[in-house]
Structure 1
Amino acid sequence: MTHPAPTVRDVTAVVPVRDGEQLLPGCLTALRQAGVGGIVVVDGLSRDRSREIAAEYGAVVISDEGKGLPHARTVGAAAATTRWVLLVDCDVVFPPGALAGLLEEFAGQDYTALQAGLKSVGGPGYWGRALAQHHRTGRSRQWFGLVATVFERDDLARIGFDDSFVSGEDIELRWRLRAAGLRTGVSQRVLVEHRFAGDDFAFALDQFLMDGSGLGRMVRKHGRRGLRLLVLPLAAAVRGVAISLLTGQPQWIPYYAAFGWFNYVGLVRGLVR
């Protein structure tokens, strides 16, 4: 059954945040300018002014009580009062007209969930630029995720998240959606800006470890079916090094070496915990 076409006013944006005061104003300004019907900011026990900033923008502010990102998205969607919800990470900015375009594509092609395409930006330091370069050139940019994604609220409540995942919940949800015969996708027409909060090695390291841990958790949950995920960090690292060499940008090779190594460190942690 094809979805009725929602308007931007029919959508509540759900924005999880933890210590995101530098990024949150840009995200919320864009959502307000787009004309969304409501904004729910789910705070993850921030130690900065994230809650105050969200209130200044007129958002409904609730807490995930430190239970993590999947739980934050669940309680945020439950607090929405519209038929459709837009899951938006606080490091995402919707340009003018992008949300309306995403909703049109979502309704016209019978998606259960549709993510906007991502244009990643980072820097000016090495690790921030490297993360952005990886996201712009890696295959994962075509993988369905949750950073800027529209759902019908009742569908999201019915499908739900596995709260045992601290990271990798997007992969886990994608697998369940596809197993149920439901359609997901990444827009080829609508791009949003994806900004990295950090620009140093510590931030990149946290990303690597969390991504690896999510893969390990997937292997634990799905057993033999999940074993293919074990090759992903190596494949991505090798591909990244090859692209760096072929494009005359060898400066990214140390990044991909660190990416591969620390993803596997995280993966082992996810397997044993």
Structure 2
Amino acid sequence: MISIVIPTYNEEENITRCLESLNRQTVPREAYEIIVVDGNSRDRTRELAEPLADSVFIQKSAKVGGARNDGVMAAEGEIVATTDADCVLPENWVERIAADFERRGDLAQLYGLVYPLEGGFKNHLSLAGANTFARVGYHTRTIYFTLGCNTAFDRDAFIQAGMYRCIDAGDDLEIAQRMRKLGRVMLDPALRVGFSMRRYQQFGTLKSIYEWMYIVAKGGDAVNYNYSKRTYK
């Protein structure tokens, strides 16, 4: 079985679309479970998620990384995949993850690329840059740009590695450096998910990238910026 973990916070505008895409997969529904870990939303996120997910509960650990960790600890699958509540998953997403892990017996972590759900040249350019960075980092074996919206783990290896750090940003970048000590970390360019550009549209692309880089440079926590639990229009 594959367990899919989705952290949420005030996502009533997006969670149904995300979960419906996960319920339209090419593999039988009993082959995977959907776990929603909510940051105590003030809107209808949990109410909307419950009919479409196998488990919905409030997170106990801090921040997005902590929510993912809570989901992993509740998971029944040998493989755990993570995505975000504002993403849309292709119909073969679960099938492709399963096939990659079956084909590579030494696989500890798998990750893919992203494309913008919203149109516009700037959005496509921004994610083209992110995807290029992911490819270059992987092939040069330097930085594994493993976005939490499109990654999967061998559950036992993930727990052994210490799971995600509970920080504001960069948790999905740092985890691969520990995972690679336990097995292969692999990029599958055909594993693609639709990624919401709402942060960049509301707060600005350059500002959002700067804030993320600043927080990462500070070790994942910075009092100047709050990168998680943002309120979107």
Kindly indicate whether structure 1 or structure 2 has the higher relative contact order, using CA contacts under 8 Å at least 6 residues apart: 2
2:70 alignment partner, one of 69, 75, 91: 75
Alpha-carbon contact 1:165-1:214 (below 8 Å) kept: no
1:137 alignment partner, one of 118, 129, 147: 129
Question: Normalising by the residue count of structure 2, what TM-score does the alignment of the two structures yield?
Answer: 0.77
In 2, the alpha carbon distance for the partners of 1:268 and 1:195 equals: 24
Of Structure 1 and Structure 2, the greater helix share is in 1
1:76-104 C-alpha deviation (Å, 9 max, x unpaired): 01111222211111122221223212321
In 1, the alpha carbon distance for the partners of 2:44 and 2:198 equals: 15
Q: Using the TM superposition, give the Cα deviation of residue 206 of structure 1 relative to its aligned residue in structure 2, in angstroms.
A: 4.8
Alpha-carbon contact 2:148-2:172 (below 8 Å) kept: yes
* 1:14 partnered with 2:5: yes
1:116 alignment partner in structure 2: 112
3-state SS of paired residue (1:92):
coil
Alpha-carbon contact 2:10-2:42 (below 8 Å) kept: yes
Alpha-carbon contact 1:135-1:141 (below 8 Å) kept: no
Alpha-carbon contact 2:147-2:172 (below 8 Å) kept: yes
Alpha-carbon contact 1:123-1:199 (below 8 Å) kept: no
Q: Using the TM superposition, give the Cα deviation of residue 168 of structure 1 relative to its aligned residue in structure 2, in angstroms.
A: 0.4
The count of aligned residue pairs is: 210
Correspondence 1:80-229 to 2 at 5 A: 80-109=75-104, 110-122=106-118, 130-138=122-130, 139-142=132-135, 143-161=145-163, 163-178=165-180, 180=181, 182-198=183-199, 200-202=201-203, 204=205, 205-206=207-208, 208-217=210-219
3-state SS of paired residue (1:61):
strand
Q: Using the TM superposition, give the Cα deviation of residue 105 of structure 1 relative to its aligned residue in structure 2, in angstroms.
A: 1.8
Aligned-pair Cα RMSD in Å: 2.8
Alpha-carbon contact 2:117-2:194 (below 8 Å) kept: yes
Q: Using the TM superposition, give the Cα deviation of residue 54 of structure 1 relative to its aligned residue in structure 2, in angstroms.
A: 1.1
2:49 alignment partner in structure 1: 54
Structure with bigger gyration radius: 1
Alpha-carbon contact 1:116-1:186 (below 8 Å) kept: yes
1:229-266 C-alpha deviation (Å, 9 max, x unpaired): xxxxxxxxxxxxxxxxxxxxxxxxxxxxxxxxxxxxx7
Structure 1 residues 161 and 81: alpha-carbon distance in aligned structure 2, compared to 1, 3 A threshold: closer
In 1, the alpha carbon distance for the partners of 2:53 and 2:146 equals: 30
3-state SS of paired residue (1:93):
coil
In structure 2, the gaps of 5 or more residues are: 136-144, 227-233
